[in-house]
Structure 1
């Protein structure tokens, strides 16, 4: 009797559940390992590709099992449903990334001053192939940024540069970003430069950040730059990072005025 029941079971359903579950576990373990610097970025990117392929296979196996159950009255609905749900769960971040890929310009280096962005001097020493090289934006890249993020601008404050730099350092510390340089004087002009390394919230992809605090016309101007170390598309992360940081800087500078 058990043999008959086994023969009437859609094996694709069990395979779907197993493959999808393995993809989910592999995704979680590798993501945590990369986030806590236990796994390097290039191997992690390969693992992400494998996870996506496994999740897609689990999804197709679940659909195959459902078709077999519909046509031949086979058993295994619970396993097929579990495999389908887990596969869709794993594929959700990929779908979100695909949407952001389609709705954001192909950029990896964003600045509030595209013409004269804050220098990433220390980042040049920290990067090596296959990381993206640090280089000035091309005219095409500047045009793409200005079209996609016209509201992304620097800030002007009626405070001394040292005061603004101190607030910026506090924000960097609160975010857990690693300061690698500064604040130190910039050779050209009356300005201070701060460089740091930031990470994406969950997967931990690194970006180099440069902030220029400049004393100009009896006011302090702040310009910020964020550049991804890997990939050919930042999915909008760098612009969002700059926007959130400068909005928080506005809030803290306003709180100084209230004192």
Structure 2
């Protein structure tokens, strides 16, 4: 007499749900990055994908527990569902940990925001109002987000800023060459497809300069720490670039004196 061992239907559903969860996450991100869906629709799609992934994990665990007691077939399907569901949940776990680590903020700046306006101002294109930190919160969360002052002229400092913006691959949307003020507005796209705007403002004279920076999320309700981290990383790189420039060229902050010496007529022989 032949004994038939059935395949657990719960294990079958676990693999099906897990197989669907990963494409749902990927498709939602791609559609958002290519601007084929709005941020609101992206959030709805992401939540749906997360729920499917969570259900896949739960069903997989229940299927494994039932297989242990029943002896049915379907271990491979249950484990596949658990693996796929876990992979689909990983982005949600990662961003959830960032949400717990950083406060819900969308706009970080080293100075008054009126001096560093965005090209996409809050209140336009259905943008939510910005969420900002108090001075105390800023000092606690991002202690290195501070105005930089350098013993280097505004023109060479602005050139270093432009180079760092290019090195980061940011999309420059507006460039104001330095007179008394030089400014760069650039846009960045995060991995899930959120757009964020950076403003770097350089002021000063021929022998000194000050650099301020602003980074803001355009349509998100939480930046997961990206704006503050971006400013800290950029200003740290700028500190290093200015230090290297002054070390390798000590006269870099004295263009006027260098030019006057070059233009001075040579003394005539008596």
- Which secondary structure does the structure 2 equivalent of 1:224 belong to? strand
Relative distance call for 1:116 and 1:125 in structure 2 (3 A) is: closer
Match of 2:121 among 120, 124, 133: 124
Structure showing greater radius of gyration is 2
CA distance in 1, matches of 2:244, 2:43: 42
CA distance in 1, matches of 2:230, 2:13: 41
Alpha-carbon offset, residue 241 of structure 1:
1.0
Contact 2:11 2:77 in 1 (8 A): yes
Alpha-carbon offset, residue 151 of structure 1:
2.6
**Which runs of structure 2 are paired with 1:1-259 in the superposition (5 Å)?**
4-5=4-5, 8-113=6-111, 115=112, 118-124=115-121, 127-129=124-126, 131-133=127-129, 137=132, 141-184=134-177, 190-200=180-190, 202-215=191-204, 218-257=207-246, 258-259=248-249
CA deviation profile, 1:225-253 (whole Å, cap 9, x unmatched): 11111232211111111112222222333
CA distance in 2, matches of 1:93, 1:249: 31
Relative distance call for 1:143 and 1:230 in structure 2 (3 A) is: farther
- Which secondary structure does the structure 2 equivalent of 1:122 belong to? coil
Contact 1:193 1:213 in 2 (8 A): yes
State TM-score, norm by structure 2: 0.81
Contact 1:65 1:80 in 2 (8 A): yes
Q: Which runs of 4+ in 1 moved over 3 A?
A: 1-5, 36-40, 115-118, 140-143
CA distance in 2, matches of 1:44, 1:103: 23
Alpha-carbon offset, residue 164 of structure 1:
1.6
Contact 1:55 1:87 in 2 (8 A): yes
CA deviation profile, 1:171-191 (whole Å, cap 9, x unmatched): 2223222222222569xxx42
Alignment root-mean-square deviation, CA: 2.7
CA distance in 2, matches of 1:97, 1:256: 38
CA deviation profile, 1:133-184 (whole Å, cap 9, x unmatched): 469x5xx634322322223223222222122222222222232222222225
Contact 1:159 1:220 in 2 (8 A): yes
CA distance in 1, matches of 2:138, 2:33: 28
Relative distance call for 1:86 and 1:9 in structure 2 (3 A) is: same
Contact 2:24 2:49 in 1 (8 A): yes
Contact 1:118 1:211 in 2 (8 A): no
- Which secondary structure does the structure 1 equivalent of 2:173 belong to? strand
CA deviation profile, 1:108-141 (whole Å, cap 9, x unmatched): 111123x567422422289411x22469x5xx63
Q: How many residues align?
A: 248
Alpha-carbon offset, residue 222 of structure 1:
0.6
